[in-house]
């Protein structure tokens, strides 16, 4: 299936449906793990589980996305989305030397967490994001832009209706509202980094803006192993404590409730950690 859509099968991925191998994900009741010894990372003494848990996905994802921004001293990075991945991207951008990070979302507690990480924030329901970014960057645009939203981006106005309608009649698989906005907002010669997942086909990508402004695009499924050691060192040195992103700790029996509040962004939920053996 992947070959038919993408030309080649990119890889097998846990929990990414039959298109990418049909491997059950880490949250399945049982998962078969080929070459399990290769996937392990030995954690030194003195670190808590919560400090290192996110080395398995979202911390490397945010970090690789920031690395893909080609950050240079003085750079301004704008990040669409303030979900868990974006929260790590914000902190990683600062670790990599960004001078300013501007984060965009509409969920108040997510915007607050971004602010706590040092970002300036924009609520896309309250401001015109493109205009606000121009204003905040002296009319020049951010040096790098990042789409940490992906294929289920929330669109507004006519554009939002367009994507919904095309998706409903199966003429478009992905809703790339944030990506469109990011490409248009980026400064000339800037970089577009996309950690957000896309699955198939996205319409109305502003290729004219992309080409004429000479932008560079970098993306990909995260190379998690590549980042184990350097990010573990950052945690050990105290540069970052990834447990900041945890808003809920629940026993395994309350997993359905955890999924419910995460999916519907209830109870200020940003990241749930399930603790088998812990009583309710
Ligand atoms: N590349 C990888 O290897 C990799 C790894 C993990 C996750 N991801 C992907 O990263 C993306 C983010 O993951 P997450 O867990 O943080 O997701 P999430 O759903 O918790 O966060 C997405 C955020 O985007 C916001 N949003 C929606 N539309 C927006 C818009 N138009 N403008 C600005 N913000 C908007 C939402 O309010 C939400 O807070 C997803 O696509 C996920 O699949 C990629």
Q: How far is the CA of 148 from the centre of ligand 1 (A)?
A: 5
Residues with CB under 6 A from ligand 1: 57-58, 61, 80-86, 104-107, 110, 124, 148-150, 153-154, 177-178, 195-197, 221-222
Nearest atom in ligand 1 to 194's CA: 1
* Ligand 1 atom with the shortest distance to the CA of 64: 1
Read off the pTM.
Answer: 0.96
Q: Could you tell me which residues are beta bridge partners of residue 124?
A: none
Q: Which of 136, 242, 151, 227 is nearest to 194 (CA)?
A: 151
CA 165-154-218 angle, to 5 degrees, is 105
Ligand 1 atom at minimal distance to the Cα of residue 110: 39
Positive or negative, the Cα torsion across 176, 179, 183, 189? Answer: negative
Q: What is the pLDDT of residue 132?
A: 98
pLDDT above 80: residue 279? no
CA of 178 to the centre of ligand 1 (A): 10
pLDDT at 280 over 70: no
Closest CA to 65 of 218, 257, 207, 260: 218
Q: Which of 190, 98, 80 is nearest to 142 (CA)?
A: 190
Q: Percent of the chain beyond pLDDT 70? A: 99
Residue of 59, 150, 217, 273 best suited for mutating to test ligand 1, as the one with most atoms within 8 Å of CB: 150
Q: Please give the domain boundaries of the chain with CATH numbers for all domains.
A: 1-40 (no CATH), 56-219 (3.40.50.720), 246-280 (no CATH)
pLDDT per residue as tens digits for the range 141-175: 999 999 999 999 999 889 999 999 999 999 989 99
Dihedral-angle region of residue 201 (phi above 0 means left; psi in -120 to 50 means alpha; beta otherwise): beta
Q: Looking at residues 13-38, what average pLDDT do you find?
A: 85
Question: For residue 224, which atom of ligand 1 is closest to its CA?
Answer: 3
The count of other CB atoms within 10 Å of the CB of residue 52 is 20
Question: What SS3 class is residue 267?
Answer: coil
Nearest CA to ligand 1 atom 2: 221
């Amino acid at each position: 299936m992947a070959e038919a859509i993408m030309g080649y099968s990119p890889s097998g991925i846990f929990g990414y449906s039959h298109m990418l191998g049909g491997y059950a994900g880490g949250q399945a009741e049982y998962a078969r793990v080929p070459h399990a010894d290769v996937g392990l990372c030995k954690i030194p003494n003195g670190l808590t589980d919560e400090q290192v848990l996110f080395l398995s996905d979202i911390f490397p994802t945010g970090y690789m996305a920031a690395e893909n921004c080609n950050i240079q001293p003085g750079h301004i990075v704008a990040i669409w989305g303030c979900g868990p991945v974006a929260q790590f991207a914000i902190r990683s951008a600062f670790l990599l030397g960004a001078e300013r990070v501007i984060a965009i979302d509409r969920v108040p507690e997510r915007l607050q967490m971004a602010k706590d990480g040092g970002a300036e924030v924009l609520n896309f329901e309250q401001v015109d994001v493109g205009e606000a970014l121009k204003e905040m960057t002296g009319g020049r645009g951010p040096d790098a832009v990042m789409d940490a939203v992906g294929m289920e981006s929330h669109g507004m106005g006519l554009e939002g209706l367009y994507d919904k309608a095309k998706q409903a009649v199966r003429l478009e698989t992905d809703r790339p509202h944030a990506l469109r906005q990011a490409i248009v907002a980026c400064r000339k010669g800037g970089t577009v980094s996309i950690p957000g997942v896309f699955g198939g086909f996205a319409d109305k990508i502003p290729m004219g803006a992309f080409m004429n402004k000479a932008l560079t695009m970098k993306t990909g499924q995260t190379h998690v192993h590549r980042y184990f050691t350097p990010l573990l060192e950052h945690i050990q040195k105290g540069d970052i404590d990834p447990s900041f992103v945890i808003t809920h700790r629940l026993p395994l029996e309350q997993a359905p409730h955890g999924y419910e509040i995460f999916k519907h962004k209830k109870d200020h939920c940003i990241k749930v950690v399930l603790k088998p053996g812990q009583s309710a």
